[in-house]
A and B are shown apart, each in its own frame.
Chain A
Amino acid sequence: MLAIENLKVEVGGKILLDHIDLEIKPGETHILFGPNGSGKTSLLMTIMGYPQYKVVTGKMTFKGVDITFIPINERAKLGIGLSYQRPPTIRGLKTRQMVKICGKGEADAEGLAKRVNFSEFLGRDVNAGFSGGEIKRSELLQLMAQKPDLMLFDEPESGVDMENIHLVGKTIAALLQKDSSHQDAKSKAQMKRERTKMGLIITHTGYILDYVAADKGQVLYDGRLSCISNPREILNCIGQNGYEECVRCMA
């Protein structure tokens, strides 16, 4: 479980997040809505442990461990993974090697790449000249190898063309153990009971909701979590009335 209590975060002296309380239980996926600049990415970066996001008050625990001040790689080792919106290019490091790094040498890069239609990119430098959609598939490929228990997705569908949106959606659902396409012997209730993976997804469009049955929706507005509700309802409200109205009506 991820538990965030009364978190206040600043970057360069400016408060970006305040009074954040958030709890993601094993098996749960949350959707994070919010206008540009509201602090969504900052929240993901803070959970991942980027040092420039300074925690002023409050704490974060994951699997019972206080992670508030531990380095990024130790959070990764505990089982937190991030799918970046704009990851940096790493020259000379091939995507294949990166997948192996994520899987601690055990990942089958070729097999995994096939699943996200990414085989031909394995020999290319990580993120070098990748289009928006290619970056998303590369990020998913890395998470598939890394197998984190808590996955943070920063706008996984932005820049993805219609042809690949289905693939991206299905892959995220599979990563979060929410892939209901192969209806095997297990009942939905049983699947839910056995589900352990946690997710926190930033979305603008809500396309991802067509593939991932999210448990809760959150609206981040001006650095504060302002609403917890059914993600579909939030999406509809935002669509009809805009964020400001939505925050007021839900409050």
Chain B
Amino acid sequence: MHGVEKLKERAAKAVDKKAALGPDINLKEFDDSFVVHSYMADEDLCGLPQAEQKRLVMSGLDVTQKERAGTFFQKDTSVIHCHSSQDGIEVIPIRKALEHHPWIRDYYWKLVSVDADKYTAAVELSLHDGYVIRALPGSKSIYPVQACLYLDKEGLQQNVHNIIIAEEGSELHIITGCSTSPHMKRGIHVGISEFFIKKNAKLSFTMIHNWAEDMMVRPRSVAQVEEGGLFLNNYICMKPAKSLQMYPTAHLVGREAVARFYSIIVGSPGCEYDLGGRIFLKNPGNKAEIVARTISNGGRIFARGHLIGEVPDIKAHLECKGLLLKGGLIHAIPELEGHVDGVEMSHEAAVGKIAQEEIAYLMSRGLSEEEATSTIVRGFLNVDIPGLPLQLRAEIDRAIEESDKDVM
């Protein structure tokens, strides 16, 4: 197991390596020891306390598991539920996969560098768990697989590693929620996600974050999209967290591969978010789109986007719109990098307040000023996401609707 040791060695060297972006976090202030929770059967899930269920529902986890192709549920460091209910879809805890399925080594740390920073290193050196979700070749999931990473223990550092594989010609939809229990205040979530979208496969990945106000969050995600593949990555974060930094990246390694990132973010007072998306277009016919809608009602938001066109005959667009409602900061940093003739790349960035003209227009149709404002804000957050199943659209709409009161 030379390779395994090598990973540990590299990780050990990076334990103090600061991340390129975002405030540095002293991981020694958190506890990453294991917390045992017992496994729950289907019916136990439905027996969870109402307050907890509500937190889960807001993150897209349906405890009844109706209209879900599978479920993965990790509480603190333990997997408490994991199963697949559709042929062609595998849902496996990653520790189990590392133990029993040698093939996972072909994917493990293949896209994210284990020594990228102290967070990647921490996950390798003290892996709690995480999920492997795989759609077998040609399989089409009718319902989404749901995955939830839940924090309950005060002061915990949760280290997870996820691997998502859409095999050739498959279609896979995943909704993943990250949340904390209602009483929890402080903790850190470090999550590695590696996505493999093979030839002509389609993967939609919708992530909804519902953190506590004192939470630190450091996801590290990289995707690889092969010929004719589609990666649709949606991120919704409407609830406050103290510090969140991530820069998910996609490499389009085959012809006609497509990646589209959509994010909807609200930053409240005390929040510092540094969020971005980066897509490398490496083959003719590649297409990429990054769309971000950010609202600050007092928080600090850095909204980054970076498109890199390396060959001719690619098309890429970046849209970054920010709305300042009650002070705060929105710093939009759109970057386009064309390396050759024949790339078609554009961006559109705007940061501002709600136009008085739009409020007056709606008021002349009978809405009060407050109603008009919330209608405009809801419209601003209502991003069209082509190719997203209706059911997941409904989950996004619900997350937006739920937090509507907080935003205003």
Contacts and interface: CB of A to CB of B under 8 A. Distances in A.
Interface residues of B, number: 22
A76 B360 CA distance: 11
Interface in B367-389: 367-369, 372, 375-376, 378-383
B295 to A, nearest CB: 12
A239 interface: no
A49 B364 CA distance: 9
A51 B365 CA distance: 16
Contact of B361 (A75, A84, A91, A146): A84
A220 B360 CA distance: 25
Interface in B233-251: none
A230 interface: no
Interface stretch (A96-104, A162-170, A193-201, A202-210): A96-104
A142 B380 contact: no
Interface string B329-372: 00000000000000000000000000101101111111111001
A102 B367 CA distance: 9
Contacts of B362: 90, 101
A77 interface: yes
A50 B368 CA distance: 14
A101 B367 contact: yes
A86 to B, nearest CB: 10
B355 A101 contact: no
A98 to B, nearest CB: 7
Given A50-B360, A72-B360, A93 B365 contact: no
B39 to A, nearest CB: 42
Contacts of A144: none
Given A88-B358, A93-B376, A72 B363 contact: yes
Interface string A84-127: 10011011110000100110100000000000000000000100
A82 B364 contact: yes
A73 B380 contact: no
A71 interface: yes
Contacts of A173: none
A156 interface: no
B293 to A, nearest CB: 9
Interface residues of A, number: 26
Contacts of B378: 92-93
Interface in A63-77: 71-73, 75-77
B382 A73 contact: no
A76 B380 contact: no
B366 A102 contact: yes
Contacts of A39: none
Given A82-B364, A90-B362, A92-B383, A71 B369 contact: yes
Contacts of A84: 361
B365 A101 contact: yes
Contact of B382 (A81, A92, A101, A142): A92
A77 B366 contact: yes
Contacts of A88: 355, 357-358, 361
Contacts of B380: 91-92
Given A90-B358, A90-B376, A92-B378, A98 B383 contact: no
B371 to A, nearest CB: 8
Given A88-B355, A88-B357, A90-B358, A71 B379 contact: no
Contacts of B363: 71-73, 76
A48 interface: yes
Contact of A76 (B364, B379, B383): B364
B366 A90 contact: no
Contact of B365 (A49, A50, A76): A76
A90 B379 contact: yes
Given A101-B375, A125-B379, A90 B361 contact: yes
A146 B357 contact: no
Contacts of B366: 73, 76-77, 101-102, 104, 146
A163 to B, nearest CB: 27
Given A50-B360, A72-B360, A91 B365 contact: no
Interface in B275-322: none
Nearest to A48: B364
Nearest to A80: B364
A87 B359 CA distance: 11
B214 to A, nearest CB: 32
Interface in A132-175: 142, 146
Interface centre among B366, B378, B382 (most CB of A within 10 A): B366
Contacts of B381: 92
A125 B358 CA distance: 13
A73 B375 contact: no
Contacts of B365: 76, 98, 101-102, 142, 146
A87 B358 CA distance: 8
Nearest to A72: B363
Contacts of A93: 375-376, 378-379, 382
Contacts of A81: 364
A73 B364 contact: yes
22 contacts: A49-B364, A50-B360, A72-B360, A72-B364, A73-B363, A73-B364, A73-B367, A73-B368, A73-B372, A82-B364, A88-B361, A90-B358, A90-B362, A92-B383, A93-B376, A98-B365, A101-B362, A101-B367, A102-B366, A104-B366, A125-B379, A142-B365
Interface of A: 48-51, 71-73, 75-77, 81-82, 84, 87-88, 90-93, 98, 101-102, 104, 125, 142, 146
Given A51-B360, A73-B363, A104-B366, 9 more contacts: A77-B366, A82-B364, A88-B358, A90-B376, A90-B379, A93-B379, A101-B362, A125-B379, A146-B365
